[in-house]
Amino acid sequence: MSGAIVEQLVAIVGPANVLTTDLDRYEVDWTRRYTGRAACVVRPADTAEVATVVSWARRAGVALVPQGGNTGLVGGSVPRGGEVVVSLERLRHIGPVDALSRQVTVGAGVTIHDLHETARAAGLRYAVDFGARGSATVGGSVATNAGGINVVRYGMTRQQIVGVEAVLGTGDVVSHLQGLVKDNTGFDLASLLCGSEGTLGIVTAVRVRLVTEQPARVTALAGFDRVEAAVETMASLCRSLDTVDAAELMLDSGVDLVESAVGVSSPIPRAAAYLLVECSAHDDQSESLGAILGAAPGLSDVAIAVTPSQRDALWRLRDEHTPSINTLGPPLKFDVTVPIDRLAGFVSSIGRVVSDVAPKARTFVFGHAADGNMHVNVSGVVDRDVDVTDAVLRAVVAEGGSISAEHGIGVTKARWLHLNRSAAEIGAMRAIKTALDPDGIMNPGVLFAD
Ligand SMILES: Cc1cc2nc3c(=O)[nH]c(=O)nc-3n(C[C@H](O)[C@H](O)[C@H](O)COP(=O)(O)OP(=O)(O)OC[C@H]3O[C@@H](n4cnc5c(N)ncnc54)[C@H](O)[C@@H]3O)c2cc1C
């Protein structure tokens, strides 16, 4: 069967683009927690080849796993066993930046980093940014509705999309890339595909909006004697300044690990909680930012960075959290939102929720404070994955939160989807899935528990 699959795919994309050996980077996910054997990896060159592959898969009854940069953290980008991985890595075309509309159309395989560079060269900016920017692709970020550090100001990926081109699970191509900001002509398929995690079709191109680059940028790292003070200060900053691009929360346990794992240290004395805030505007925001932070309750110290290298040093402290935690072995990762008024309580109590189930586990919490979005990483869980996951996700829901803020449901959380979505909602989602992917070939096992 496998030989026949390879032969038929070679006829579509050519022998160089059907891979059968050295598949580790396609079969093992970024956390190294999820892995499975693929029948093979196919690398189509364009939308037409993707459509031919999907139509072939329907006829052959073969399941497909779309893959971008393979930085997804919920196990949805790697095979579970026997699927064909469809890598979008060759769809790297970048269209001309339209300076009038501030938009650009890019292929699904373009990295977030390359999109940033394209926007920058035109004096503009792509507003979605996160630590995996060097590998994560535009297609993957649409499929996961990625968030990141600038959501507080610009919104998630869904808010940046003006249109998509995609091959549905039926094999049909839908292409709506005109870039009209106002276009109420029926269902918004781009929005539907955004966050669908490869379960409805394969995104092949995306038209995104770009924002004006603000020339004056300032970043501050503030230490606090307690989490509540950091959260209160974050809320006060967002209320007072409409120039806040990012407001990230870190705890001493995470900063300590980053220092020991990768040798990046904090420029201010150690504190219970840290707020990393970035503002950008036409004029310098240092004074307004410094004034609010200076009067903040529980502030222990603050460092303000204005040059790019100073700013990079502060951001490394935050960006190195995920890689540093990985040095302890594959963690259990939770990416959750709680209402802002519950955030401090949640951050302070979630470690106990974990240790009640797995006493030897280490819990690290950090994330996008302004969105109420925390990354809860649990290391050292040997055989209680399901119990820890159940306890953490139920604690989130008890606080009125969401079990997936931005990473998606993937395979990791599929059996807990019902905690946030009613039977009617899941039924509607399944009906859409059946309509757009009638043979169930698109990323089976992701989003819906079978
Ligand atoms: C260090 C680090 C930091 C991160 N920080 C953030 C963060 O702050 N915010 C955030 O939201 N995420 C974050 N992530 C998670 C991840 O980077 C995002 O989910 C990203 O959008 C995934 O993009 P990708 O190209 O790697 O997709 P992949 O990992 O390849 O795939 C992710 C999912 O999308 C599907 N998919 C991929 N490409 C397509 C396509 N073209 N069409 C249809 N389906 C497709 C896959 O099947 C899979 O279900 C982080 C990850 C790492 C490793």
From residue 42, alpha-carbon distances to 50, 84, 89, 351 in Å are 9, 7, 10, 42
Rounded distance from Cα 304 to ligand 1 centre (Å): 31
Handedness of CA 246, 405, 335, 68 (dihedral sign): negative
pTM metric for this prediction: 0.95
According to the model, what pLDDT value does residue 382 have?
A: 80
Question: Which residue out of 111, 144, 174, 202 has the highest number of ligand 1 atoms within 8 Å of its CB and is therefore the one to mutate?
Answer: 144
In whole angstroms, give the CA distance from residue 175 to residue 340. Answer: 38
pLDDT at 219: 97
Smallest CA separation from ligand 1 atom 50, residue: 132
Closest protein CA for atom 16 of ligand 1: 72
The count of other CB atoms within 10 Å of the CB of residue 24 is 7
The pLDDT of residue 336 is: 98
Check if 325 has its Cβ closer than 6 Å to any atom of ligand 1: no
Report the alpha-carbon distance of residue 296 to residue 276 in Å, rounded.
Answer: 14
Q: Across the beta sheet with 103-107, what order do the strands follow?
A: 103-107, 201-209, 161-168, 173-175
Report pLDDT for 207: 98
- Is the domain spanning 103-212 CATH 3.40.50.620? The answer is no
Q: Give me the pLDDT at residue 3, please.
A: 87
Q: Where are the alpha helices (DSSP H) in 18-61?
A: 24-27, 47-60
- Ranges for all domains in the chain classified under CATH 3.30.465.10: 103-212
Q: For the chain, where do the domains classified as CATH 3.30.70.2190 start and end?
A: 216-317
Cα–Cα nearest to 85, from 35, 15, 14, 11: 35
Which residue among 53, 54, 67 has the greatest number of ligand 1 atoms within 8 angstroms of its CB, and so is best to mutate?
67
Tell me if 358 sits within 8 A of 383, measured CB to CB.
Answer: no
**Cα dihedral across residues 294, 296, 301, 302: positive or negative:** negative
Q: What is the pLDDT of residue 100?
A: 97
70 lines ligand 1 (CB under 6 A): yes
Close Cβ partners of 360 (under 8 Å, ≥ 6 residues apart):
380
The verdict on domain 216-317 having CATH code 3.30.830.10 is: no
Residue 223 beta carbon below 6 angstroms from any ligand 1 atom: no
C-beta of 443 in contact with ligand 1 (< 6 A): yes
Task: Tell me, in angstroms, the distance from the centre of ligand 1 to residue 119's CA.
Answer: 20
Output the CA 406–ligand 1 centroid distance in Å.
Answer: 9
d(CA 206, CA 274): 36
For residue 30 and ligand 1, the question of a CB distance below 6 A is answered with yes
Is the beta carbon of 444 within 6 A of some atom in ligand 1? Answer: no
Ligand 1 pocket test, candidate residues 53, 74, 77, most atoms within 8 A of CB:
77
Q: The tokens of 66 are what?
A: 């779309």
- In one-letter notation, the amino acid at residue 336 is V
Question: Is the distance from CB of 237 to CB of 277 less than 8 angstroms?
Answer: yes
DSSP string, 210-265: -EEPPSEEEEEEEEESSHHHHHHHHHHHHHH-TTEEEEEEEEHHHHHHHHHHH---
Question: If you measure from the C-alpha of residue 157 to the centroid of ligand 1, how many angstroms do you get, rounded to a whole number?
Answer: 11
pLDDT value of position 150: 96
The confidence score (pLDDT) of residue 31 equals 87
139 lines ligand 1 (CB under 6 A): yes
Q: Is 146 in the pocket of ligand 1 (CB under 6 A)?
A: yes
CA distance 134 to 155: 21
* Lookup: tokens for 61: 């009854």
For the chain, report the end-to-end CA distance as a whole number of angstroms.
Answer: 25
Q: Is the CB of 151 under 6 A from ligand 1?
A: no
Q: Which two tokens stand for residue 395?
A: 């604690």
Is the domain spanning 328-423 CATH 3.30.70.2740? The answer is: yes
Single-letter amino acid code for the residue at 126:
Y
Residue ranges for the chain with pLDDT beneath 50: 1
d(Cα 290, Cα 420) in Å, to the nearest integer? Answer: 39
CB atoms within 10 A of CB 147: 25
CATH 3.30.43.10 fits 2-87, yes or no: yes
Sign of the CA dihedral 24, 27, 29, 34?
negative
Q: Is 337 in the pocket of ligand 1 (CB under 6 A)?
A: no
CA distances from 255 to 54, 364, 442 (A): 45, 10, 40
Q: How far apart, in whole angstroms, are the C-alpha atoms of residue 270 and residue 221? A: 11
Residue 402 CB contacts under 8 Å (≥ 6 apart), including other chains:
336, 337, 396, 420
